[in-house]
Chains A and B, each alone.
Chain A
Amino acid sequence: EAGVTQFPSHSVIEKGQTVTLRCDPISGHDNLYWYRRVMGKEIKFLLHFVKESKQDESGMPNNRFLAERTGGTYSTLKVQPAELEDSGVYFCASSQIFRTGIQETQYFGPGTRLLVL
C-alpha cells in the first residue's frame, strides 16, 4: 500500500512569490492534516480536512495560507505571497475516518522543505 506522498520534496523561492504544496493521502483515508515545523520549533498543526471539508483550520497562521482538498482526495497548500518566516518543513498526514472508541493512527508524508529567500 502506498504511503502519504508530498510534492515537491524541496522548494526554494524568493520572498513575495507563490508556492503550492501538494499532498496525496493514503487511499481511502478521509482525514487529512497539514503540519509544519519552522526552524528550531516544534511541529505545529495547521489544519484538518474530513473528506473535502475543513474540520479545523485553527492552526493556519494567516490569510496568506490557503488549503484545498478537491473531491476529498489530494490536498494543496498554497502560500501567497511567501514571507521569510514561512520557511520550514511542511508535513501532511492522513488517517481513516474516526470511529467511536478507536484512536486513529496518523500516517505522515516525508514533508516538503520550503526555503523562502
Chain B
Amino acid sequence: LAKTTQPISMDSYEGQEVNITCSHNNIATNDYITWYQQFPSQGPRFIIQGYKTKVTNEVASLFIPADRKSSTLSLPRVSLSDTAVYYCLVGLYGGSQGNLIFGKGTKLSVKP
C-alpha cells in the first residue's frame, strides 16, 4: 500500500477554509484516496473518498491532480468542532484487502 505524507499539525481560525495536502508518490493504478477524521476519545470517521479529479460532499471536497501523487482535503468555513486529527489513506480497500493503513495524521486546531 502506498505510503502517505501529510503535515503533523495545522492551526486555523473559525470561518476559514482549511486545505490539508497529502503526498502519495507511489500510489498504484487501482488505489483510492480516502480521508478519515478522528475526534478525541472517538474512533475514526469516514469523510470522503476519491479516485481522480474532484469529489465533493456535504462535509468536504477532495482535489486530486491528474498524476494522483497528491491530494488535498478542503474543509470550507471550519468551526471549532472541526478540531480533530485528519488521516489520509491510500489503497485498494475492500474484501480481502480491507485493512486500513493509518499514518500519523494531521492534527487540526481551530481557534475562535
Contacts and interface: CB of A to CB of B under 8 A. Distances in A.
Q: From A4, A91, A93, A106, name the one whose CB has the most chain B CB atoms within 10 angstroms.
A: A106
Interface in B23-57: 32, 34, 41-46, 49
B96 interface: yes
A106 B45 CA distance: 8
Interface in B93-109: 93-96, 98-105
Interface residues of B, number: 22
Interface in A58-100: 59, 91-93, 95, 97-99
Nearest to B50: A103
Contacts of A111: 41-43
Contact of B99 (A45, A92, A97, A105): A45
